[in-house]
DNA sequence: GGACGCATGTAATAGGTTACATGATTAC
DNA sequence: GTAATCATGTAACCTATTACATGCGTCC
């Protein structure tokens, strides 16, 4: 029995909610769920084959009119069990990596005005992300209100991760605004 | 001319402040500066050789009594220039990866009590990290007060990254406490 | 004698990104 | 025709982790 990696659990976590094609999975890991994991399609397709060989997912080819065929992947009972057990497995956090913070660590060597411009651009990027997350939040509060105190509901779990994403973006925007302001005043 | 990667800039960023051995660099990237980057010694030693071949750092062997010799690395003028230019180079953020968030995304499949226990453990870990960062903050406010409004000072840059680290840990602790509470009440 | 901290490296493997590759259909 | 979206894959390369490997000195 081969051990499955974090990407595998990311795919299983998405498939535990709904059957999806490799393309769909790549969309979610490239854009929508991007506040806690990410992957490109070139990593996803081979990983799906691996999960299938391990009996954790199965697929069915589905013909579509007006579009190419797709392979719809479904999680198996075995896959669901493995995923459920993984959630509470003891864990060591990976060191977090943030290239922008790393750049700021050396910002004292750069022109303050140039650095401030870069940071204002990032502030804008994170404001947009925050707005997008607030949009998700509004939809959740509108459609899933009843699930938000039910720990057994997938919608509750989505809500929980989104709350963290929202706080992260809020804090990041505030920090970027503060730092850009300091650098602008230093010119 | 070879292009240098993010790890290379992490090492240059540390060496721009003070000369350090490979061992020292590994300490900082494994523990102290860990709120924005990380690396193990097996990655650091080869990378230092690479930076040296590119003329960005130089080293000098220093004998010590009671301890093995060490190689003290120093950034060159060329290295400092490259680092300063990199800081304001246009950049695309890497998707962030947080395995704990990924687990929470599937928490609806797990026993709430077990999940809550894992989260309380993480809450404790982050509380400790927060306390450590507050200790750094106290030292900075005591010794570097005069530098904190000088954008050209390395101490200002350290302070700026630490502020982000503090906010990150505060937000994480609050979120973990909230989520663990919800899961405990669901038992 | 054994564990621990200092100090430096290499080798094997796993994980991830970028580029290559193909092909259908729809909208402009 | 040509760009965009849907859809699936492979190959080459780079990055990062884990394990292997060595050796001195101090403390218990």
pLDDT tens-digit map of A86-138:
999 999 999 889 999 999 999 999 999 999 999 999 999 999 999 999 999 99
CA of A18 to C1' of C10 (A): 46
Q: Do B161 and A109 make contact, defined as CB atoms within 8 angstroms?
A: no
pLDDT digits (tens, 9 = 90+) for B100-122: 999 999 999 999 999 999 999 99
> DSSP class of residue B107?
G
pLDDT digits (tens, 9 = 90+) for B150-172: 999 999 999 999 999 999 999 99
Strand D at less than 7 A from CB of B5: yes
CA of B65 to C1' of C3 (A): 22
Strand D at less than 7 A from CB of A64: yes
What token pair was written down for B23?
């061992």
Q: Band of the pLDDT at B142, cuts 50, 70, 90?
A: very high
Average predicted confidence (pLDDT) for chain B: 95
CB proximity A84 to B under 8 Å: yes
Write down the pLDDT at residue B35: 82
Residue B33 has pLDDT above 70, yes or no: no
Write down the pLDDT at residue A30: 83
Nearest to A104 among B16, B161, B178 (CB): B161
Q: Do B117 and A88 make contact, defined as CB atoms within 8 angstroms?
A: yes
Nearest to B34 among A95, A156, A167 (CB): A95
Write down the pLDDT at residue A68: 87
| Predicted model pTM | 0.95
Write down the pLDDT at residue B64: 87
Instruction: Answer whether A187's CB lies under 8 Å from A147's CB.
Output: no
Q: Using a CB-CB distance cutoff of 8 angstroms, which residues of chain B are in contact with residue A90? A: 118
Closest CA in chain B for residue A87: B103
Write down the pLDDT at residue A64: 86
> DSSP class of residue A88?
T
What token pair was written down for B146?
């005069």
Q: Do B160 and A12 make contact, defined as CB atoms within 8 angstroms?
A: no
Q: Band of the pLDDT at B187, cuts 50, 70, 90?
A: confident
Q: Band of the pLDDT at B2, cuts 50, 70, 90?
A: low
Strand partners, B61: B71
Write down the pLDDT at residue A32: 52
CA of A83 to C1' of D8 (A): 26
Q: Using a CB-CB distance cutoff of 8 angstroms, which residues of chain A are in contact with residue B172? A: 164
Strand D at less than 7 A from CB of A135: no
CB proximity B111 to A under 8 Å: yes
CB proximity A77 to B under 8 Å: no
Label residues A6-21 b or e (16+ Cβ within 10 Å = b). ebbbbbbbbbbbebbb
Write down the pLDDT at residue A3: 85
Q: Band of the pLDDT at B31, cuts 50, 70, 90?
A: low
Q: Do B157 and A105 make contact, defined as CB atoms within 8 angstroms?
A: yes
* Closest nucleotide relative to residue A42's CA, C1' based: D9
Residue B21 has pLDDT above 80, yes or no: yes
What token pair was written down for B175?
């979120």
- In tens digits, chain A (187 residues) has pLDDT values of 568 999 999 999 999 999 999 999 999 998 656 689 999 999 999 999 999 999 999 999 998 878 889 999 999 999 999 999 999 999 999 988 999 999 999 999 999 999 999 999 999 999 999 999 999 999 999 999 999 999 999 999 999 999 999 999 999 999 999 999 999 999 8
- Please tell me which residue, B2 or B187, carries the higher pLDDT value: B187
Q: Enumerate the H helices of B60-111 as residue ranges.
A: 77-87, 99-105
Write down the pLDDT at residue A167: 98
The separation between the first and the last C-alpha atoms of chain B, rounded to the nearest angstrom, is 61
Q: Which of A28, A95, A116, A183 to mutate to test the interface with B (most CBs of B within 10 A)?
A: A95
Write down the pLDDT at residue A29: 93
Residue B95 has pLDDT above 60, yes or no: yes
CA of B44: how far to CAs of B26, B81, B83, in Å? 7, 21, 17
Write down the pLDDT at residue B1: 53
Which residue has tokens 């990596």? A97
């Amino acid at each position: 029995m081969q051990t499955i990696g974090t990407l595998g659990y990311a795919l299983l976590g998405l498939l535990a909610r709904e059957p999806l094609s490799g393309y769909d999975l790549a969309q979610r890991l490239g854009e929508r769920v991007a506040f806690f994991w990410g992957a490109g399609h070139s990593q996803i397709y081979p990983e799906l084959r691996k999960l299938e060989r391990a009996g954790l997912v199965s697929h069915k080819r589905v013909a579509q009119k007006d579009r190419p065929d797709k392979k719809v992947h479904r999680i198996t009972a075995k896959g669901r069990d493995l995923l459920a057990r993984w959630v509470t497995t003891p864990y060591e956090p990976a060191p977090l990596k943030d290239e922008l913070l790393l750049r700021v660590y050396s910002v004292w060597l750069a022109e303050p005005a140039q650095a401030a411009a870069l940071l204002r651009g990032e502030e804008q990027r994170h404001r947009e992300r925050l707005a997008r997350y607030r949009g998700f939040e509004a939809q959740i509060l509108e459609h899933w209100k009843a699930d938000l105190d039910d720990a057994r509901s997938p919608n509750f779990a989505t809500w929980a991760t989104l709350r963290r994403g929202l706080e992260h973006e809020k804090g990041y925007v505030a920090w970027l605004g503060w730092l850009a302001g300091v650098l602008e005043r230093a010119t």
